[in-house]
Structure 1
Amino acid sequence: MYVEYIEHVLEEADRAIEVRDYHMAERLLKGALYDEPGYAKVHNHLGWLYQYYIVNHKQAELHFKFAIRFDPKFDAPYIHLSNMYIDNRRYTDLREMMEGALKVDGVNKSFIYENYGKTHEASGEFSKAIKYYKMAIYETIDSYDADEIKSSIKRCKYKRLKRLF
């Protein structure tokens, strides 16, 4: 019953976001957190709202980290937080988060290895990046994801070759 109430609040917040009433969505989500402070999906939604609509990266990061703490197997906050770290070139933070995620059973290992590849690519370590991208391909079961990762490998090989000349 209580879970239904929280899920209803999440739906209401989504509707508020659709009509661009971001502050109403924020009030709804904060109200849900008042009632259930450890509900990971609410923290993830609030982080998502702060990341993409209200644009408060500090609050977004805080809520994504709470979502991960309260439900480490929930993939969404890892995805959003990693995107935020990549957008802000915070590769050390991304690598640290992926190290923690790697220890959690049930988290998408392909996603983790792909992000490791991105951190190494960004720091110019193309051979290490290729190694992690290959590990990501091995772990994925989605052909589209595998094709995307293969293009990352191709890009790193090109960059590595270009560096030689």
Structure 2
Amino acid sequence: MGDIKAEDLFLEADQLSDDNKNIEARNILLELLSDFPDYGRAHNLLGWLYQNKFSNNTKAKLHYEMAIKYASDFGGGYNNYAYLLVETNKYDEMLSFGLENINNNSVDKAVIYNKLGQAYELKGDLLNALECYNLSIKDTLSLQTLESMYSAKSRVKKKMSFFQKIKTLNK
């Protein structure tokens, strides 16, 4: 009976979030998590709400970490956590997280490689950024992601020195 209640509350909160009723969605998720603290997908949605609707990245980070802990087979938590790390300028943490989880079958490799590329790029490691963008291209079926990655590659190449560009010719 408990699992059904948790699922019902989660679906209700998800619909409220879709309807932009974010306070109500948050309250239902908090209620759900008080009864079912290990409901990973609820942590993920609550993290997303805190990040994108309430501008509270500290709480978002905590809930994404709980989502990954309790729903390690759900890719959304990994993706959202990666977005948060780059958005909050935690590039070294993103590199560690991404490299540690890239071979996890639950992650969207295209997303993780993209975020790794962004972290490398923003740290000034343009060769590794370019490599990650290429890997993201290889691992996506999304036309939108492809266009975004080709744009990122173009941007990185414009930032490269002459000698860095020569190094890319051998790859």
1:108 matched to 2:108: yes
> C-alpha displacement at 1:8, in angstroms?
2.1
The number of equivalent residue pairs is: 163
Query: Alpha-carbon deviation of 1:157?
Result: 0.4
Distance of 2:3 and 2:127 partners within structure 1? 47
Contact between 1:72 and 1:104, CA under 8 Å: does it hold in 2?
A: no
What is the CA deviation profile of residues 113-142 of structure 1, one whole-angstrom value per residue up to 9, with x for unaligned ones? 211111111011112111111111112222
Residues 133 and 16 (structure 1), Cα distance of their counterparts in 2 relative to 1, 3 Å cut:
closer
Seen in structure 2, the aligned counterparts of structure 1 residues 106 and 48 have a Cα distance that, compared at 3 Å, is closer
Q: Is the 8 A contact 1:9 1:29 kept in 2?
A: yes
AA partner of residue 139 (structure 2): E
The structural deviation recorded for 1:161 is 4.4
Stretch deviating more after TM superposition (11-20 or 79-88): 11-20
* CA gap 1:99/1:120 in 2 versus in 1, 3 angstroms: same
Confirm whether residue 46 of structure 1 aligns to residue 46 of structure 2: yes
Whole-Å Cα distance in 2 between the matches of residues 37 and 46 of structure 1? 12
Give the C-alpha shift of residue 110 in structure 1: 1.8
How far the C-alpha of 1:162 sits from its partner, in A, is 8.3
The alpha carbon displacement at 1:163 in A equals 9.9
Q: State the SS of the aligned residue for 2:34.
A: helix
Structure 1 segments of 4 or more deviating over 4 A?
A: 161-164
- CA shift in 2, pair 1:158/1:14, >3 Å: same
The alpha carbon displacement at 1:5 in A equals 2.2
2:73 aligned with 1:73: yes
3-state SS in 1 of match to 2:141: coil
The answer for the alignment partner of 1:30 in structure 2 is 30
Structure 1 residue runs without a partner (length 5+)? none
Question: Alpha-carbon deviation of 1:145?
Answer: 1.3
1:2 CA displacement: 3.7
1:75, distance to aligned residue in structure 2 (A): 1.7
Provide the C-alpha distance between the structure 1 equivalents of 2:9 and 2:102, rounded to a whole number of angstroms. 31
> What does 1:2-151 correspond to in 2, within 5 Å?
2-17=2-17, 18=19, 20=21, 22=23, 24-151=24-151
Change (3 A) 1:136 1:9: same
Query: Contact conserved, 1:10 with 1:42, CA < 8 A, in 2?
Result: yes
Report the 3-state secondary structure (helix = DSSP H, G, I; strand = E; otherwise coil) of the residue aligned with 1:104.
Answer: coil
How does the TM-score come out when normalised to structure 2?
Answer: 0.83
Cα 1:87/1:21, change in 2 over 3 Å: closer
**How far has the Cα of 1:26 moved from its partner?**
2.6
Q: Structure 1 vs Structure 2: percent identity of aligned residues?
A: 26
